[in-house]
Structures are given as structure tokens and as C-alpha cells.
Amino acid sequence: MSKTFYRIILLIATSLLACTASAQLVVNVSPPKLSGEKAVVTLQMKNNFSEKVESTRAACFLLDEQGKMVGQATKWIIGGSPEKPGLEAGATNVFHFVVPVSKPPVSTNLTAKISVSRLVLAGGKVGDPEKDVRISSSGR
């Protein structure tokens, strides 16, 4: 096959990667910190969209070493009320997710799983949490 064919394939592949890697909300999840009957999970967020994120709703599930759920909570992590502003394009923010723990866990080795259920962009445009949100965990 010719070099031109391989160049075209490379150009198409690069274009597809650029499209899938662009506009998104990136959420980095820190390990939970226990404090009495609650755990605090810190979320660091970066808006890579070219527009403002008006609001984002997420659920946090706390799991023990065996994968058993020991706590859960659902909150607006961006916006959602007049006193909580959205996240401007290119901006970063930190949210501290406070999750009540049903009973004191046997171990302090907990894992937080985050699930985004709603994403609203500027002008009321609804985003797709499955495609537009990337969630990653930072190590212990």
C-alpha cells in the first residue's frame, strides 16, 4: 500500500482521537477520609468544555474492602442552587462530598465510587454524563 494511504488513515485516526478527547468534565476522586459517622470524599473538577457547566449532580457510594456498600449520598457537585455558581469554561473547583456511614466500618480502607447522573451546560443544554464526564481516582 502507498504512503498516501497510510497518511490518510493516520489523519483519520488522529481526528477521531481529537474528537473523543475534547470537551468534557474531568473529576478526580480522592480516597475517603473517615471522621466519626461520616466520610469526606474530595472531588477535584476541571471544566474542559468550551462553555460553562451550570450544574452537575452525582452520587457517591462508599465501599469496604469486600465491595460492600457502607454509605451513599447524592448531591449537586456543581451549581444546583442560586448560592452555588456553575463552573466556567477552563476553570477548576473542589467539592467535598460528605457521606454518612450507616455503621462504623470494620476497616478504614474504603473506596469511593462516583456516578454522575445529570450534567447541564450553559443555556440549559443537557450533556451526556456517560460521554462528557471522565472520572478518575487518585491513589492512596
pLDDT digits (tens, 9 = 90+) for 50-80: 999 999 999 999 998 888 899 999 999 999 8
Which residue type, as a one-letter code, is found at position 134? R
Only one residue has cell 471544566, namely 47
What does pLDDT average to over the chain?
Answer: 85
Domains of the chain in sequence order: 23-137 (2.60.40)
Is the pLDDT at 104 greater than 80? The verdict is: no
Residue 18: the pLDDT is 44
Reported pTM = 0.79
Phi/psi zone of residue 102: left (φ > 0), alpha (ψ -120 to 50 degrees), beta?
A: alpha
For residues 79 and 128, what is the distance between their CA atoms, to the nearest angstrom? 17
Residue 20: the pLDDT is 45
What whole-number percentage of the chain has pLDDT above 90?
63
